[in-house]
A = this chain, B = another copy of it.
Amino acid sequence: MTRKIRMGMVGGGEGAFIGAVHRIAAAMDGQIELVCGAFSSNAEKSKRSGEALYLPAERCYGSYQDMMDSEAALPESERMDFVAIVTPNHLHYPVAEAALNAGFHVMSDKPATFNLDEALRLKTLVEKTGLLYGLTHTYTGYPLVKEARQRIARGDLGEIRKVVVEYPQGWLADHSNDDSKQASWRVDPSKSGISNCMGDIGVHAANLAEYVSGLKIHKICADLNATVAGRTLDDDGSVLLRFNNGARGVLMATQIAVGEENAIRIRVYGEKGGFDWRQEEPNTLVYRTLTEPAQLIRTGVAEMSPLTQANMRTPAGHPEGYLEAFANLYRNFASQVRARLEGSTPDEAALDLPGIADAVRGMSFIENVVAASAAEEKWRELPDY
């Protein structure tokens, strides 16, 4: 097939951070072209946003419903192949539902939906339509995260015993950012859902822990807190974890760790070794064993698994970052779409992408961690989605 995959975007108008990130990620590898968007529910603003992206005015829509209808009416050779959803949380489900019902694949920002019920309904819809669904748990897109997962899966660490995942941020340590475009909806229950901190970043941490370890979180014990005066939703939390194989763990996610930026880090220890990865210096994976010196696993130096190699772009010592990790999600999603269009089978790398199962598990985590924090008994079991 000799064309790029065509993307429409919902959300991501002027001033939005995450929309621009999605566009960069989609553009980077030359596999996807942005062809239309409903960048804002304000039609004028949507058009202005689209024109700044060199889109024709007629494909800058004033509502996502309009976009679905109009695009569906275009000839197959023109219309978008999939919809990228980059709105606040409460719109994720309705937009995804509209897209799927109109026959478009969906690439959604996380958390997948506003609540677990929506996520379960979304799963039913995805299964019913048979369309593709991708979820941007970005941190799974980093090459060395994938390498850690591959090595654990092949047994390098032996049985996993302990997982420590943390996600400290400091940007909500006081009210100074509350009115920013990024914060205002996150701390608002009507747009964010029942959790701010766990819904925004705790869910990333939980997803990363499961992705890297290959385990499932089975039981949790949580202590969430709305630290800053006036907040109704959590801005900090710590969670004890038990995994389905008996491994123990800790998850810490906080937005009030003053001065911390976006320091998600995961450590996994097994019988024979351990991995330590930090997002802020993502090009090094520390590998420890029982008897040998610690090794600095780096792409381009150590031997990488084929799947990792498929998610790298630069040679040794040329650092890749957040946008490349994000772009890996888009490229892998585009490969899935392309395979669908070509009637072929996507390769292993294309399939290595968070999807609807992660969407449901993520929303389940959020609901259960809030409930666990409120509970008096120590442990709360997660349903086996």
Interface residues of A (CB under 8 A from B): 2-4, 17, 20-21, 23-24, 27-30, 34, 51, 53-54, 157, 161-162, 164, 166, 168-171, 173-174, 176, 182, 221, 223, 225, 227, 236, 238, 240, 242, 248-250, 252, 254, 256-263, 267, 269-274, 279-283, 287-290, 292-298, 300-302, 313-324, 375-378
**Pairwise interchain contact A252-B250, C-beta atoms closer than 8 A:** yes
| A223 touches which of B51, B248, B377 (Cβ 8 Å) | B248
**Pairwise interchain contact A173-B376, C-beta atoms closer than 8 A:** no
**Pairwise interchain contact A296-B298, C-beta atoms closer than 8 A:** no
- Other than the given A28-B323, A294-B298, 9 more pairs (CB < 8 A) read A182-B315, A223-B242, A238-B249, A259-B288, A259-B301, A260-B288, A279-B317, A280-B317, A295-B296
> Could you tell me the distance between the alpha carbons of A250 and B316 in the complex, rounded to whole angstroms?
25
> Could you tell me the distance between the alpha carbons of A286 and B252 in the complex, rounded to whole angstroms?
20
Q: Which residue of B lies closest to A256 (CB)?
A: B161
| A292 touches which of B161, B176, B302 (Cβ 8 Å) | B302
**Pairwise interchain contact A280-B280, C-beta atoms closer than 8 A:** no
**Pairwise interchain contact B28-A34, C-beta atoms closer than 8 A:** no
**Pairwise interchain contact A54-B271, C-beta atoms closer than 8 A:** no
Q: Which residue of B lies closest to A263 (CB)?
A: B317
| A377 touches which of B28, B262, B313, B378 (Cβ 8 Å) | B378
Q: Shortest beta-carbon distance, A35 to chain B, in Å?
A: 12
**Pairwise interchain contact B289-A258, C-beta atoms closer than 8 A:** yes
Q: Shortest beta-carbon distance, A301 to chain B, in Å?
A: 6
> Could you tell me the distance between the alpha carbons of A290 and B261 in the complex, rounded to whole angstroms?
11
